[in-house]
Amino acid sequence: MGPDVAFLSEMLNSQLAFPLSQEDPAAITSIPGFLQAVRSEPRFAMHLADIHEEAQQLGKDLLSEEYDDGNPGQLVERALDELGQKLAPGPPLDEYGRRAPTIRSLLHDMHHPFVLPFPVASGEATGRISVLLVELEKLANLAPPILQLETSGHETMVARNKKVQWRARLRTRADPSVWAAAAGGR
Partner 1 sequence: MRVFVLGLTLAFGLLRLEAVESLLLSGTPYAESHPKDERAALRVEVVRSAAGLITAAPGGFLSGGVKSGLRPIVEDVRQVAQLLVLDLRRRLYTVRSRLGVLQRFKARCEWHDRERLRRLADDAQQAKRFAEHVLRDELTRYLFDQGLNPLAEAVLGASSRADVFDPSLGPSFYVEAKQYRDRAAVDPRLRAAFRQALDTVGNIPGSGYTIDEAFIVLFRRSGPRVLLPTEPFMAEGLRWHFVLINIAEASEDASQNTETPVEYSAESLREILIEVGVERSLPVPPRAHA
Interface residues toward partner 1, by CB under 8 A: 1-2, 4-5, 8-9, 12-13, 15-16, 19-20, 24-29, 31-32, 34-35, 38, 42-44, 46-56, 58-60, 62-63, 110-111, 113-122, 124, 126-127, 168, 171-174
Please state, in angstroms and as integers, the Cα–Cα distance from residue 111 to each residue in 58, 81, 118, 150, following that order.
15, 23, 21, 25
48 versus 159: smaller Cβ distance to partner 1: 48
What residues contact 41, with CB distance under 8 A and at least 6 apart?
Answer: 8, 11
Give min distance, CB of 76 to partner 1, in A: 20
Say how far apart CA 120 and CA 71 lie, in whole Å.
26
Give min distance, CB of 116 to partner 1, in A: 5
117 versus 153: smaller Cβ distance to partner 1: 117
Contact 165, 130 (CB under 8 A): yes
Give min distance, CB of 152 to partner 1, in A: 29
38 versus 181: smaller Cβ distance to partner 1: 38
What residues contact 74, with CB distance under 8 A and at least 6 apart?
Answer: none
- Judge if the upstream peptide bond of residue 119 is cis by omega within 30 degrees of 0: yes
87 versus 168: smaller Cβ distance to partner 1: 168
128 versus 154: smaller Cβ distance to partner 1: 128
Give min distance, CB of 17 to partner 1, in A: 10
44 CB neighbour count, 10 Å cutoff:
16
157 CB neighbour count, 10 Å cutoff:
20
Contact 96, 125 (CB under 8 A): no
Give min distance, CB of 123 to partner 1, in A: 9
